[in-house]
Amino acid sequence: MTDMTRRRLLVGIASLAVVLPTASAAQGETPAIHVLKDRNCGCCEAWVRVLRDHGFGVTTEASFGTLLIRHKLENGIPQEMHSCHTGEIDGYMIEGHVPPADIRRLLGERPDAIGLAVPGMPYGSPGMGPEDEREAYDVFLVHHDGSSQVFSSYDAA
């Protein structure tokens, strides 16, 4: 192989290294989500696994008790919307076992809101048991004034 051919090959490889990350971002790569959770909570860890399985970059931070509750309240999540863990993604709060598809929809639509919440821990929501046995539940869009509206609904399976 001549020096000129090697040089072209190396330039081509270097160009791909620059272009590929940009191409994946242009295709709608999901921003990273940071999750505050109790380190001993199995359903919180299961939800994190669901997010990772759906292509989210997830970081976690141990938090519990009054520190976690205070974090939720200080970030506009009304007490009646609380669940066991809280995520932060691209300026939005994600409370509880919110499905990945709803997070993607939120990021696509970009409503002027605090974020999404699934209050409590409904059985069959992501991280809370098999989806084919789920109970009905709603995902709420939480507004800045503390009010909420149904963002999506999931029927019982």
User: Which sequence spans correspond to the domains of the chain?
Assistant: 1-27, 31-154
What confidence tens digit (pLDDT) does each residue in 39-63 have?
A: 888 999 999 999 999 999 999 999 9
What confidence tens digit (pLDDT) does each residue in 104-115 have?
A: 999 999 999 999
Asked if 157 contacts 132 with a C-beta cutoff of 8 angstroms, the reply is yes
Architecture of domain 31-154: 3-Layer(aba) Sandwich (3.40)
Q: What is the pTM of this model?
A: 0.81
Q: Strands, DSSP E only, in 4-136?
A: 33-37, 58-62, 86-89, 92-96, 115-118
Q: How confident is the model at residue 96 (pLDDT cuts 50, 70, 90)?
A: very high
